[in-house]
Amino acid sequence: MRLVPVNYAGSVRIRIILTLAMMALAAPASAQKKNKNTTAPATTDPGQDFQAAMHTPDAQAVDEAIGEALGYWQIGDAESLHKYYADDVVLVSGAWEQPIIGWDNFLKVYQAQRAQISGARMDRSNTLIKVNGNTAWATYQFLYAAQSEGKVAQFRGHTTLFLVKQANRWVITLNHSSVVDSSLPEPAGPADPAQPGKH
């Protein structure tokens, strides 16, 4: 896969957007412990049913897999990261480009981008998980910030993952990220507000 930067801002944006397609974040959805002897009341509210389903053992396992995958992504442990991605994974970024198909292609892009970006941080919120047998999907919002070539860029968006349970482990088979808001790269470091008008 080739990236052809049109300009500096575009090249940073494409690299970061591609990176966004390769992760999932660490803050697991909060788990609620329930008494096994207590029967849940019947409900006709689909929202309540969905929230209850978020706290099943499989949904919690999916949530943990997402968090652990991003943890390994952030520290650069590709071998451990591979445990959470299928060999035939498909990754779709928020950029207008072809999907990345297969772990080997993903790994090449991941390693190349990791060499160019530092201080990457992603915060995940509003995670929803739906499990159906040995398949599951998860969707969440993210806030991502990173530095590249002395510039800082920030992105907000949505990620949707499709997972399959293989040998009692949840693995990501599809990762689709969409950027809904971004800031242009800015110089890293604090500005000096005591020097107005100086360039």
* pLDDT tops 60 at residue 119: yes
The secondary structure of the chain, three-state, reads CCCCCCCHHHHHHHHHHHHHCCCCCCCCCCCCCCCCCCCCCCCCCHHHHHHHHCCCHHHHHHHHHHHHHHHHHHHCCHHHHHCCEEEEEEEECCCCCCCEECHHHHHHHHHHHHHHCEEEEEEEEEEEEEEECCEEEEEEEEEEEEEECCEEEEEEEEEEEEEEEECCEEEEEEEEEEEEEEEEEEECCCCCCCCCCCC
- 61/187: higher pLDDT: 61
Residues of the chain with pLDDT > 90, as a percent, come to 43
pLDDT of residue 75: 87
Q: Where are the domains of the chain?
A: 8-27+48-184
Least confident segment among 15-19, 30-34, 191-195: 30-34
Least confident segment among 23-27, 40-44, 77-81, 102-106: 23-27
Closest CA relative to residue 141, chosen from 160, 119, 121: 160
pLDDT of residue 38: 36
Helix axes 8-20, 103-116, angle to 10 degrees: 130
* pLDDT tops 60 at residue 92: yes
Q: Which residues contact 56 (CB under 8 A, 6 or more apart)?
A: 131
Spell out the CATH class of 8-27+48-184: alpha beta
Q: Strand 135-148 and strand 151-166: pairing?
A: antiparallel
